[in-house]
Structure formats: C-alpha cells, structure tokens
Amino acid sequence: MKSKIIDTFKSLWRKNMGKRSFLICATMVSATLLILLVSRTPQGLYSDPATQMKALQQYLAGESPSINHVVMPKEGDLSEDAAGWISWWPPGTQLFNYPLMAGGVALGDALRIQVIVCLFLGSIGWVFWFSMFRFPWWIKIALAVALPWMRYTSNCLFLYITEILNYASAPWILLATYGLGELWIRGRLGLLRMALLFAFFGFCAGSVYVFKYSIIFVSIGSLVYLGITMFRRKSYGFLQTMACLVLALIFFIMPIAGLQVLNCKFNTGITPATTALGLNLCWQNLLFTIANPVLAMADGYSLLCYIFLHPVHGLLRNPLWPALIGLPGGLLLILLILSPSINATGLDSRRDPHLKILRDYELLAICVFLVSCACLFTLWSLSDNVSYEARHLAPAGIAILPLAVQKGYFFWAASRRGAVRAVLTGAAIAYIAVPLLYGGASVVGKVIRTPSDYKVGPSHIYNPLLADFDLAGVREKLITDFSSEKGIWYLPSYVTALSFSGRAIITSADFEDLDALKKRRYLSSSPLSVWALLPPEFEKNGKGDIIRNTFVQSDKWERKEIQGCKYFLWTTRLKGLTKWLKPINTE
C-alpha cells in the first residue's frame, strides 16, 4: 500500500521537478530574507490571540484548569475567581505554542517561531500548488518570491494573528485532496485500503477546524471535489464509492463535533457564527461575496483599508468602499474561472491540444472557491453578528489565484482586441501586482517605525500601548508595590495583560461603548486593592469616570503617572461587603 501511494505521488510531481525545485528555493530564499529583515523587531500580537495566549500563560502558571480557560475575578465578588471557556476562537494557537512555552520559551519568541514555521510551510505548499497550473514560469517565479511578503502573511511577523495557520494548512489540504483524487482515479488500491485513506483524510480535513474556523471552507470544498471526482471517474462500484465518501464525511465531522461539544459544555456553544442567529438578508452580503475573493488573492483588502478605513487618515471610513472597488475585479474573476478554456493556438510552438480539458486541479480550485463563497454567504445571511473582512476568504482566494492568472494569460494572448488586453492588464496590476508591492513596502515601513532597541518584558512582547521604548522598565515600576494576595489589576487590553502576573480584570474597554461599561458593577466580599491602568484618552471620552464608578465600594481614587508608561495608574481600596449584604448577581 505504502509503495503504491508513494509511486502515485511521485508520478504527480515528477514532471517539471527541476523547475518546481527552483520555485521552492526561490520562495525559501525570499522568506529567509524577510525573516532576517524583521529579526530585530520584537513580536507583537492582536487582541484576539492575546486572549488565547493569556489562557495558555495562566495554565502554565497553574492558575487555569486548561489551555482554553481564562481565569478572572468574579464581577459579583472580586475576592473569588471564575474560569471562562474560550469558544469565540478555536484553540489552535494554544496547541501550537504549548510545547514551546512549556519548554521555557518566552511567549513572544514562541509566537515568532510559530509564524516562521507556518511561513515556510505555507509558502512551499502554495508554490507546489501554483506549479501545476499552465502559465509562464517567470510569473510563477515572481509569485513564489512575492508570496511570503504579502501583507496577509508578513504582517504576522509584527502582529501575530491566527490567519497564518490558514496560510500554512490550506495548500496542503489542496495537495492532499488532489493526490487522493488521483489515487481514486487510478484505482490501484484495494477497497479496504482506499476506505482507510478516505477516513484518514476526512479526519485530517475536519481537524483543521481546531486551528481556525474559517479554514473549514477549504475542507468542505475539497470534499465536494472528491465527491464529483468519485462519481465522474468510477474506478469502483456505486456502493463502494458511497461507502468511501460517507466514511470520509463521518470522520470529517468527528473533530468538528468534538470541539462543538466542548463549546456547548463550557460556554453554551457560542461561536462567531452562532452568537446572533437570525435572518440577515441584505444586498451587502452579495456585494462582499463577489468582491472579497479578488481582494483576498493578494490581500488588496489591506491596502484599501489603509487608504479608506485607517482610524487616523482614512479617506472615507466606510467599509463599502473597498468592496465597491473590488466589485469589478470580482465579476471579472467569476467570468474568468467559469468560462470554458480557450484554444491557445499561436501562443507557442508546442500547441497544447488538451487546453480545452478542465484539469482535475483546476476543478479542485473552482470547487474550493465556490464552496467557500457559498458557505460564507450563508453564514452572513443567517447571523446578525458578521464580519465582512476579506481575510475569511483568503485561503480560497489564494487557491484560485493561479487559475485566474492562467485563464487571464490565455485570454490576453489569444485576444486581438486592445480593450480586452487593457482590462486584463489593468486587473492584474490593480488586484495582484500593486497589493503584493504594498506588502513589501509595509514590511519596510514597519521595520523602520518599530524601535529595534525596544526593551521587552518577560513575555518578550512588543506593546506600544503600554510603553513606547522600555516596557521592561515600566513594568518593574508598576509592579513594585503590587501584592497579588491583597490586590487585583484592572487592565483594558489582553495584550497588556500578557505582561503582568497576578489576578486581573481584563476587558476590551477601548472597543466598548459607554452604555456597556455602565452596566458593570464590581463588588468584593473582602477588602481589596485595585490597580487600574487606563489610557489618557479615557479621561476625555468619559470612560475613565465610568470605569472607576463601577467599583461601587471604592474609596478615593489616586492617580499616578509612571515615566515612560502610556497609561495612568489609578489605585483605590475596596472596603468589602458587610455580612448581611450579599453580592449582586451580575449574570
């Protein structure tokens, strides 16, 4: 069995292996140069993964029951703690970083190592995927060099986000799907062995749900492709085909159902898709479904967000503008990938007589693209709490990129009309070339802006919200008089919380409105000190007073400014409740 599988995969990649090896070397050299350029830049991260890393940090310190529980003081009685299960994001980040941090690697260094590994794995996988398509090798080389620098990936070396897991896993799902389909077509394995392979593939395809919820779209599209291939190429009988497909689906569902059971057990199954179920039929859903894939192919969405939605210098600050700019490209992309292949007579002397045949890998790219768009459109239509960011379709967008380039190149070469060539050239520049160049420029800009001599704390995290240059020194000044036995922190950011140990109320106050903050009431059954870090802008927008008033037992608040610290330190003493006064039920 093993030799037949290996022989099949060797036959798939033997053609043009020399050129493919050159592409792999090119992307590895490019990724290495990128890593060397940012090597002196400390690792940061976004607020979402900071929540997950805080859970892991607490678990390793013996403060949390699992790597997916965040422990904080109870709102109704701050003298007691409560563990909250994280279901908003899957635990992939914690699972990847646990071995490193358990071995003594600092949090920031563990994240940087994870990003580097994912960057190499993803880039090599995507180069393999791109190499199968039929367009000039100089374009493939350009894409291989540019992929690691694309903002979707390179930005993770500055601010970690779980999208890097999608980038690393998606191409290997595609390659494994294509290889399994070829094994089925050739029919070289017995039915039992083929069934075991389908079960194993289904389980692996479903397990990526633990990494990132949105990567499951790629897995579903891959299963759709396998179903189409199995019934088009009947290497086995109908019942045997159905048995293999059902087996793959069963094992595909198992890890998804397992994680969802845990979510339901610990947190009522709340996920981004289920938090606000209800019909949400609107024209924006269709607009973003059409526009986002072309904006995700080379991460042109990030460039448009920088131009239009930047909080400081954004031109219009309306999320519809990036989608409207992406709409023409999205329509052109759909037209290209769904159009029948054309005869490329005259393109070169070899004349490809099989150009009209839809290759299996092309069908796979189309299945993943269409299924991903359909799944996301369905989720948007069934939930009021939606995110229209293009990154959710990035794996499908990158997967369809080589087919779009191939079709566009053939149409450009075969067309005699200047208008057609102008449209295709303009689209390639606007939606592929410019975003990729922006990715490289953004790397250089961030390296210049980020101080290379930034002094990180024990977590080795870059956090300009806490300190511009010397986080370690600021942290030491803040914790000098703090006692974890008699006091708690109030921290307005999970990123900031990673630099402090001890009991802490961790919020996202910067992103919450005033009404939400006013609803909170913090009480303690025993005397307790509160150390609150609040940004200066909270004193201007009213959030500072609201937050301090939520501690209803507090004495007079004292403000202290720490040199180099971006926050004001506010301290107070909670008197504690009398025996006859019960804590307010805040649930």
The alpha carbon of 262 is separated from its chain's Cα centroid by a whole number of angstroms, namely 21
Is the pLDDT at 18 greater than 50? The verdict is yes
Pick the more confident residue, 499 or 555.
499
At 274, is the pLDDT very low, low, confident or very high (cuts 50, 70, 90)? Answer: low
What is the average pLDDT across 181-207?
A: 89
Q: In whole angstroms, how far apart are CA 511 and each of 167, 292, 541?
A: 28, 25, 12
Domain boundaries, the chain: 170-271, 278-414, 471-574
Alpha helix ranges (H) inside 147-282: 151-154, 163-186, 191-207, 216-232, 238-267
At 185, is the pLDDT very low, low, confident or very high (cuts 50, 70, 90)? Answer: confident
Looking at residue 416, what is its pLDDT? Answer: 81
Residue 467's SS3 state is strand
At 429, is the pLDDT very low, low, confident or very high (cuts 50, 70, 90)? Answer: very high
At 5, is the pLDDT very low, low, confident or very high (cuts 50, 70, 90)? Answer: low
At 511, is the pLDDT very low, low, confident or very high (cuts 50, 70, 90)? Answer: confident
Size of the chain, expressed as the number of residues it contains: 587
Residue 433's SS3 state is helix
Helix or strand holding residue 92 (H, E): helix 92-102
Instruction: Read off the pLDDT of residues 78-110 as tens digits, 9 standing for 90 and up.
Output: 989 999 999 889 999 999 999 999 999 999 999
Residue that is written with structure tokens 């919380």 in the block = 497
Helix or strand holding residue 491 (H, E): strand 487-491
Pick the more confident residue, 185 or 166.
166
Structure tokens at 285: 């859903």
How many whole angstroms separate alpha carbon 500 and alpha carbon 291?
A: 42
What is the average pLDDT across 429-453?
A: 94
The answer to whether 99 and 114 are in contact (CB under 8 A) is no
Pick the more confident residue, 407 or 384.
407
| Phi-psi sector, 374: left (phi>0), alpha (psi -120 to 50), beta | alpha
Instruction: Read off the pLDDT of residues 212-243 as tens digits, 9 standing for 90 and up.
Output: 999 999 999 999 999 999 888 777 788 888 99
**For the residues of 346-387, what is the DSSP string, one character each?**
TSSTT--TTTTS--HHHHHHHHHHHHHHHHHHHHHHTBSS--
Looking at residue 572, what is its pLDDT? Answer: 92
Q: What is the pTM of this model?
A: 0.90
User: Could you give the percent of the chain with pLDDT greater than 90?
Assistant: 67
Instruction: Read off the pLDDT of residues 319-362 as tens digits, 9 standing for 90 and up.
Output: 899 999 999 999 999 999 888 755 443 344 344 444 456 788 99
